[in-house]
Amino acid sequence: MTSTPLPSSLDPEIAARLKRSADGLVPAIAQQYDTGEVLMLGWMDDEALHRTLTTGRCTYWSRSRGEYWVKGDTSGHVQWVKSVALDCDADTVLVKVDQVGAACHTGARTCFDADVLLKNADSGVSSVDQ
Amino acid sequence: MTSTPLPSSLDPEIAARLKRSADGLVPAIAQQYDTGEVLMLGWMDDEALHRTLTTGRCTYWSRSRGEYWVKGDTSGHVQWVKSVALDCDADTVLVKVDQVGAACHTGARTCFDADVLLKNADSGVSSVDQ
């Protein structure tokens, strides 16, 4: 699943570990640092991760527009970076942020507020299995 | 980014909305329902999402093994499903779960515990920007 990254200023030690999808990206989960809300999922290439680590602002690669996207630059809904972690496989990023206003372009606080497929499941009580 | 899904039992109304990557998958974030911890990110195709919605157990598609993977079947570290939501673009799933034991195969509680790239950033105070 790993492709060759574009040249970037990302720390070579991190770049050497990063496992990218075929399009050179890793999914990046943005989580509100104090409430724990999962706000959104974006995509980062090496340079977006570098900018997220060094500028204090969460920066993604927009797959639809094919350009870097500093969250909040147009909306004002900035994500101030609090911490950044890679997962155990180095193929996913978790960014804890302080989200200004709505994370979602719809105006909702998070991108997961509007389309709930299942809620209040109580699966833990019984031993439901396939 | 959308590919034709494999046949599955997923509700056709949901399947019609789902936006899959080129390999027919969507990223699925597993979050502990009460503490808010982001536990891991896995991948689901239509059938894995269907099973997650209907069996009470979080089910992923393993990209490395090329098979369905019912979390906890080998480790005992089951994820009991509490709620499932799609994001605003219908290309990411958020599953709130009750995680039994460690979510990570390393034995860590979450997959994001061990590889912290940046912590305790205080970017919100100053106007750091690129």
pLDDT digits (tens, 9 = 90+) for B34-71: 999 999 999 999 999 999 999 999 999 999 999 999 99
pLDDT, residue A126, reads 43
pLDDT, average across residues B19-48: 97
Q: Which residues of A touch B92 (CB under 8 A)?
A: 27, 41, 111-112
Residue A130 in any domain: the answer is no
Taking the CA of residue A4 as centre, how many other CA atoms within 13 Å lie in the half-sphere pointing to its CB?
1
Give A124's pLDDT tier (boundaries 50, 70, 90). low
> For residues B62-87, b (16+ Cβ closer than 10 Å) or e, as one string?
eeeeeebbbbbeeeebbbbbbbbbbb
Residue A19 in any domain: the answer is yes
ipTM field: 0.91
Tell me which residue of A83, A87, A81 sits closest to A100, measured CA to CA: A81
pLDDT, residue B125, reads 45
Domain count, chain B: 1
The length of chain A, given as a count of residues: 130
Asked if A13 reaches chain B (Cβ–Cβ under 8 Å), the answer is: no
Q: Is there a contact between A108 and B121 if contact means CB atoms under 8 Å apart?
A: no
Give B7's pLDDT tier (boundaries 50, 70, 90). confident
Mutate to test the interface with A, among B8, B9, B29 (most CBs of A within 10 A): B29
Supply the DSSP string of B86-97, one letter for each residue.
E-TTS--EEEEE
> For residues A21-32, b (16+ Cβ closer than 10 Å) or e, as one string?
beebbbbbbbbb
Give the domain CATH number at A24.
Answer: 3.10.20.810
Domain that holds residue A98: 12-123
Give B128's pLDDT tier (boundaries 50, 70, 90). very low
Give A69's pLDDT tier (boundaries 50, 70, 90). very high
Residue A102 in any domain: the answer is yes
pLDDT digits (tens, 9 = 90+) for A15-49: 999 999 989 999 999 999 999 999 999 999 999 99
Burial degree of B120 (CB within 10 A; 0-12, 13-18, 19+): exposed
Taking the CA of residue B59 as centre, how many other CA atoms within 13 Å lie in the half-sphere pointing to its CB?
19
Amino acid at position A27, single letter: P
Residue A64 in any domain: the answer is yes
